Every structure is written in C-alpha cells, then in structure tokens.
Amino acid sequence: MIDTALALLRFSLGLGSVFLLGYLGFALLVPNPRGFRVLESLSYSFGIGAVVLTLWMLLLSWWGHPFSLIPILVPPLAGAFLLVALKMIVRKRAGGPESAPSTIPAPSSAPFQVWDWVFIGLLSAVLLFAYFRAVIYPMWAWDTIATWGCKAKLFYQTGGMDLTCIEAHNYYPNLVPLLLSYLYFCLGEVKDHLAQGLFPFWGALLLGMLYSFLRRMGLNRTRALGVTAFFALNGTVFISHLFIAYADLPLAYFALAAVGLLYLWLMDAAPVGALALAAPFFAGLAWCKYEGPPLAGTILLAAFLTLVWLRPPDWKMRVLKLGIPILGLAAGFLPWRLFAAFRHLEMGADHVRNLYPHQLLESIPYFLRALVDPFFFGLLWPAAVLALIFSGRGLWRSPRLFPALFLGGNLLAVLVAYAVAPTSAAEFDMYVRATIDRLLLHITPVAALLVGDGVKEWGGRPQAGPQRPLEKPLGKAY
C-alpha cells in the first residue's frame, strides 16, 4: 500500500515537473500568462512541457549523455527559469506594464446550472473510468507493446535512445516513448500500468482545451460543457484511447491546440501571443507521430487558403505571420530527422511509392461507415456535417471556412493515404479496419469545434448568461 502511494507520489511529481517546465515556456511565449483561465494555462503548459522535455532528451541522447532524472530535468528547468527571469527584468527596464490587459472573456457570474453539473458529472465519470481502466491493467494494446511502450521500456533500460535492438518502426518520432521513459525514471522502475495513467490525464487536458476554445468562441458555460461532453461521450474510440497508451490521443491534442489557436486568431478572438503559443504545438505534431507533419501542413494550408479567400484588410501580413507556426513545425521535425540521418536510421518512405486506385474505392465504404457508425464516433461527425450545412452561405464569408477546409482536406487525405498504402490485397481490409478509427480520431476534436459553432446558432434560443466582449482590440491578436 505504501509502495503504491509512493509510486503515485513520484508519478505526480514527475507530471508536475512537466507542467512547471511547460508553464515557464508558456510564460515566455505569451505577453501576459495571467490573461488565461487556469484550465487553459494547464492545458497548454503540459503540451509545451512534454515537447521541450522530450526534445531535450533527444539532445542528451545525441550528445551521448546517459539518461537519469537530474540531467533530464534540471537543465531545462534551470534554463526556463533563467529565461523567464530575464524576460521580467527586460520588461521592467523597458518600463512596460507589468501585465498586459486580460484576454479572458469575463467569467460568468451565473451560478452553476443543473445541466452544468450533469455535464461535469458525465465528463468526470468518463475520466475516472478511464483512469482506473488504465492503471489497473498493464500495457497490453498492440501498438503500445509493439512500438510506443516497447521503446519507452528500452530507453529506460539502456539509458538512452538505443534503437539497435528494435527494428520495427524505429524511425517513428519519439515524443510519447521518451515521455513514458521519463516517467519510468520518476517511478524508479518500469511500472507500465502506472505510466499508462498519463493517457487519461492527457485526455482530460484535451477536454479542458476544447472547453476553453469553445468559451473563447463565444459559447456560454453550459453549452461549452455540453459540447465537450458530447465529444467525450460519443462512440468508443476516444474513450478507449484514454487507456490504451497509443500516440494518437496526444496527436489529437496537439492538432486541436494548433487548429484551435489558429481558428481563434482568424476570428480575431485569440489571446495575445496566440501564434507564438501555437508554435510548440506544431512542433508537438511533428515530434509525436509520423502523421503529424502532413496534419500540420493541412492546418497551415487551410489557414492560408482562408486568408486568401476572405482577404481581411491585413491578409498579406497575416499570411507572413503564419511563418511563426512553421518555425515551430521545423523545431519539432528537424531534430529527429537530423538525429536519424546522423545515426543512419532508415526512414520509412514506403507509403509514397505507388498509387493503387482500387484501394481508394475499396476504402470508401469503411471510411463512410466509420464516420456514421455509433460504435466509432457516435453522432459527432453527422452533427458536424449538420452544423456545416446550417452555416449556409455564411461559411464562405467567415473564418469557419478554416476548420471546414482542414477537416475536408484531411478526410480526403485519409482516402489518398489508403490509395498509396503498400498492403497486400488480402490484408487491405484488415489494414483499413485497424487504422481508420485512429486516423479520424486525430481530427475529431476539431469536428467538435464545428459542432460548437453550430450549437451557438443551431440551438434555437439566444444564449443564456452574459457574453461580454473580449477586452482586447480586434485584429491585434498575434
């Protein structure tokens, strides 16, 4: 009993350190970290901390320094503290205001409604179930023991990124395995069932982030909670990814952060520093999974096309500012590619050699079924489609075009991916069934943003509760 309590304490301290590191990064990136809700700060901080910590571990491994807790944690934390202190000194000397005006939509003074409690109860029940489901059982899911968990165990046992004894998928990016191995260092041994507790926790942060985006999009508390619960309790894919330790849930988290921040920026509803804040999430996309860079590419392309189509007064300057997330993408993409090139790791390029048009046709029924089958995502995708349909012509005149383009582009990309997949005819059916839910999971939280947009208009009655205007000049959110 005492052992378990100590292990949980070590695990919590390990996660707390990631939060601290991430919060310092967050404080560096945005002019006024206090201008965010606590839930928002927490949601962003963990992702930033995870990216910085694991990239640092990659550097340690490159330098040949063996992994242990002190070299993993102390230098990045000390560096981040120094930089934040430097930022504060510079700001004080420049005579600037200690804090920029708040960008938080004013908190609703209304007491919690019955429906708020119902939605909070549903979300708590899902997360509690997922947490116990994760920590009671050891790692067992296929990709977990074949790739992510296996690498994590190996990195811990060898004290570095020794990929010589694992041949399968050794070119995959390593954010998740390195973060798990860091947790093993915190725990002092490979307790994979406890480390698996990371995933429900990551899912909670994704839900917190989704809720925060919905609030900034103008939904009141009840509706934002309702849409968040609608996302979490629709089908089994999201819930099962809360406890199977795959990299798809973290990828969905990074994708939501990147899309959400750019969407708010396009809507002029973003917090100050949104593009700089989006940069580490673009890095996370590239460093989390092989599908991340194309996903990031479609986000940037959709933002570019939206700006070109809508042509706001400063659209050229805004297009140039998309360079900030591109820098983030490069920061997440290049280190691992360079490491792999220097270590002569063979990078898997087998997916782009040929086009098999019949596979495209064969995958369409599976694809459509996955979008409407209650077992996968429940009513979420049909609801997102309805929200788009009810946008009418307004879709072409508003930044809502951005998530619509992103989702449409990615749905098309999924089909194209199946058309170029080098799979035998006998295995193709199994291949699609084993991957379609995960590929859709990456973009499903963004579909929930569209549902949120729809609920704002679609629900009929005007919104309850005060919706005060944002306390920042519109169009200056970058």
For residue 168, give both structure tokens: 């399968």
Q: How far apart are CA 78 and CA 84, in angstroms?
A: 10
Position among 8, 100, 120, 150 found at the interface with another protein (CB under 8 A)? 150
Task: Rule CB under 8 A: say whether 247 interacts with another protein.
Answer: no
Write out the binding residues for another protein, residues 103-122 only, by CB under 8 A: 122
Write out the binding residues for another protein, residues 39-98 only, by CB under 8 A: none
Asked if 273 contacts 476 with a C-beta cutoff of 8 angstroms, the reply is no
Residues 6+ apart with CB under 8 A from 249: 199, 202, 203, 206, 238, 241, 242, 441
Based on CB atoms, which residue is closest to another protein, 118 or 420? 118
Position among 102, 108, 113, 158 found at the interface with another protein (CB under 8 A)? 158
How far, in whole angstroms, is CA 78 from its chain's centroid? 26
Based on CB atoms, which residue is closest to another protein, 95 or 460? 460
Torsion, Cα of 456, 298, 44, 310 (10° steps): -50
Based on CB atoms, which residue is closest to another protein, 235 or 271? 235
Q: Which amino acid, residue 101?
A: P
Based on CB atoms, which residue is closest to another protein, 164 or 354? 164
Task: Rule CB under 8 A: say whether 378 interacts with another protein.
Answer: yes
How far, in whole angstroms, is CA 313 from its chain's centroid? 31
Query: CA 53 → CA 16, 66, 71, 77, 376, distances in Å?
Result: 13, 15, 11, 9, 33
Q: How far apart are CA 415 and CA 75, in angstroms?
A: 44
Question: What element of type H or E holds 355?
Answer: none
Asked if 172 contacts 290 with a C-beta cutoff of 8 angstroms, the reply is yes
CB of 214 to another protein, least distance (A): 16
Task: Rule CB under 8 A: say whether 233 interacts with another protein.
Answer: yes
Write out the binding residues for another protein, residues 416-475 only, by CB under 8 A: 458-460
Terminal CA-CA length for the chain = 50
Based on CB atoms, which residue is closest to another protein, 202 or 230? 230
Based on CB atoms, which residue is closest to another protein, 106 or 128? 128
Task: Rule CB under 8 A: say whether 177 interacts with another protein.
Answer: no
Position among 14, 235, 325, 335 found at the interface with another protein (CB under 8 A)? 235
For residue 68, give both structure tokens: 């242990």
Position among 175, 239, 277, 307 found at the interface with another protein (CB under 8 A)? 239
Based on CB atoms, which residue is closest to another protein, 84 or 379? 379
Near another protein by CB under 8 A, which window of 48-56, 85-93, 106-114, 382-390? Answer: 382-390
CB of 244 to another protein, least distance (A): 13
Write out the binding residues for another protein, residues 291-320 only, by CB under 8 A: none
Sketch the per residue contact string, 190 through 229, with another protein: x for CB under 8 A, - otherwise. Answer: -x-xx-----------------------------------
- Count the neighbouring beta carbons within 10 Å of the beta carbon of residue 6: 12
- Count the neighbouring beta carbons within 10 Å of the beta carbon of residue 218: 18
Size of the site for another protein (CB under 8 A): 42
Write out the binding residues for another protein, residues 355-374 only, by CB under 8 A: 374
Q: How far apart are CA 207 and CA 152, in angstroms?
A: 26
Write out the binding residues for another protein, residues 385-404 only, by CB under 8 A: 386, 390
Near another protein by CB under 8 A, which window of 164-172, 307-315, 397-405, 436-444? Answer: 164-172
Asked if 184 contacts 210 with a C-beta cutoff of 8 angstroms, the reply is no
CB of 191 to another protein, least distance (A): 7
Q: How far apart are CA 348 and CA 350, in angstroms?
A: 6
Q: In degrees, to the nearest 5, what angle opens at C-alpha 167 toward C-alphas 165 and 170? A: 100
SS3 category, 460: coil
- Residues for the chain: how many in total? 478
Q: Which amino acid, residue 8?
A: L
CB of 374 to another protein, least distance (A): 6
CB of 255 to another protein, least distance (A): 24
Q: How far apart are CA 205 and CA 203, in angstroms?
A: 5
Q: How far apart are CA 253 and CA 261, in angstroms?
A: 12
Based on CB atoms, which residue is closest to another protein, 25 or 149? 149
CB of 433 to another protein, least distance (A): 15
Based on CB atoms, which residue is closest to another protein, 99 or 164? 164
Position among 68, 124, 157, 354 found at the interface with another protein (CB under 8 A)? 157
Asked if 34 contacts 102 with a C-beta cutoff of 8 angstroms, the reply is yes
CB of 428 to another protein, least distance (A): 15
Based on CB atoms, which residue is closest to another protein, 79 or 382? 382
What residue ranges bind another protein (CB under 8 A)?
A: 122, 129, 132-133, 135-139, 142, 145-146, 149-150, 153-154, 157-158, 162, 164-167, 191, 193-194, 230, 233-236, 239, 374, 378-379, 382-383, 386, 390, 458-460
